[in-house]
Amino acid sequence: MKGSIKIGRILGIPIYINYTWLFVFAFITYMLAVDVFPSDERNFSQLTYWLLGICTSLLFFASLLLHELAHSFVCLKNGIPVKSITLFIFGGVARIAKEAEKPSLEFLMAAAGPFASIALSAIFGSIWWFTRGVYDPLSSMTGYLAIINLGLAIFNLVPGYPLDGGRIFRSIVWLITGDHQKATRIASQTGKAIGYLFIAGGVFIIVRYNMWEGLWIAFVGWFLTMAAAGTSRQATIKQSLGGIKAGDVMVSDYISISSVLTLKQVHVYIAHTGKLFFLVTDHERLLGSISVENFARVPQQEWDSTTVGQIMTPVNDMQLLNTEDDALGILEKMDEVDDNRMVVVDGHNGILGLITRDSLLRFALSRRQMAT
Ligand SMILES: [Zn+2]
């Protein structure tokens, strides 16, 4: 996600915070310190209210993270890599490299998050119960966190795909029908319908009661319809790529260069061709590849004295394909290793063609247009 900063690693998964989350953090802290906690009329000092606001926001942040970690934990346990967790304005999102292969696993992956939020709500709720009247600042804070975690669980259980509840719904339809694509279609249609219900409900509230709450509900509804449309588009792409092999989609519009060229010479190529990626070859045999990312690691004053061979990604570190690899698997692999270009080779590293994410998506799109 754009505009995110990395804050650390848990279970080997990089954790990011999107800048939108910082606004939420500031807003929640302010709201708690100035409005929510003082309305308890317990007459704590200003400083206590602000400290409570900050602690509660931080624990809310930790709760969101634990929700995502619960999803991730089930994935990792079942051999599905998790690429990252990002916290942003609507909560958190864990990026997983591929989808579950069985409905039962999808059910567990989806249910783990809301389960964690309910468990957190129970833990905060019991601390609230035992500290009531004994230590009021702590009980105010934990009482609020119990409610907000319960709210988080309930919202996520709304059966609108791609929310957790929608994924649970899809896994059940998948189990009943035995058809993953049909289940995805039904779940994303339901997701869209629920999004429209939220929008309609929001508009109704704006008209009848309170402007801001209605606007917020309608906004969430809009977000849900967009997300559902996005996932159904993804499902269509996957459907279109079924049965397609690397040999069918590879393209030949790549440029091969020699490893003895200097970076300065390659820079001229870039300026003339607009290409940002080159294959390094010796008599049609692949030696490696070089892209602007490799370039960025070398200071410009050294471009004259550095050769392509010195900084290229060597062939052994590249993901190579053969003509029989299936297209859908390639797309998933690209997501998994975060690489948008892969080279198709024969048994002796002779180049047969190039596959890019763009070429895969364009192929899927044109195939779909032909079908309709
Ligand atoms: Zn979740």
The pLDDT-based confidence of 120 (bands split at 50, 70, 90) is: very high
CA of 169 to the centre of ligand 1 (A): 14
**Under a CB-based contact definition with an 8 Å cutoff, are residues 360 and 241 in contact?**
yes
Cβ atoms within 10 Å of 75's Cβ, excluding its own: 23
**What are the backbone angles phi and psi of residue 43, rounded to the nearest 5°?**
55, 50
Distance (angstroms) between ligand 1 centre and the Cα of 113 equals 4
Mean pLDDT of all residues in the chain?
83
Query: Under a CB-based contact definition with an 8 Å cutoff, are residues 346 and 322 in contact?
Result: yes
Ligand 1 center to 214 CA (angstroms): 24
pLDDT in the model for residue 33: 81
Structure confidence at residue 89 (pLDDT): 66
What is the band of 371 on the pLDDT scale with cuts at 50, 70, 90?
low
- Whole-number Å distance, alpha carbon 321 to ligand 1 midpoint, is 34
In whole angstroms, what separates CA 187 from the centre of its chain? 19
Residue from 308, 180, 320 nearest 238 by CA = 180
Q: Which fold has domain 246-371?
A: CBS-domain (3.10.580)
Report pLDDT digits (tens) over 344-362: 888 888 888 888 888 888 8
Mean pLDDT of 271-288: 84
The answer to whether the peptide bond before residue 162 is cis (omega within 30 degrees of 0) is yes
| Residue 296 pLDDT level (bands cut at 50, 70, 90) | confident
Per-residue confidence (pLDDT) for residue 40, from 0 to 100:
67
Q: Report how far ligand 1's centroid is from the alpha carbon of 156 (Å).
A: 6
- Cα(67) to centroid of ligand 1, in Å? 6
Q: What is the mean pLDDT of residues 45-63?
A: 85
Which pLDDT score is estimated for 121?
A: 95
Domain locations in the chain as residue ranges: 1-157, 159-241, 246-371
Q: Which residue has the higher pLDDT, 135 or 371?
A: 135
Q: Which of 88-102, 129-143, 153-167 has the lowest mean pLDDT?
A: 88-102
Helix (H) or strand (E) holding 268: helix 263-273
Q: What is the DSSP letter of 192?
A: H
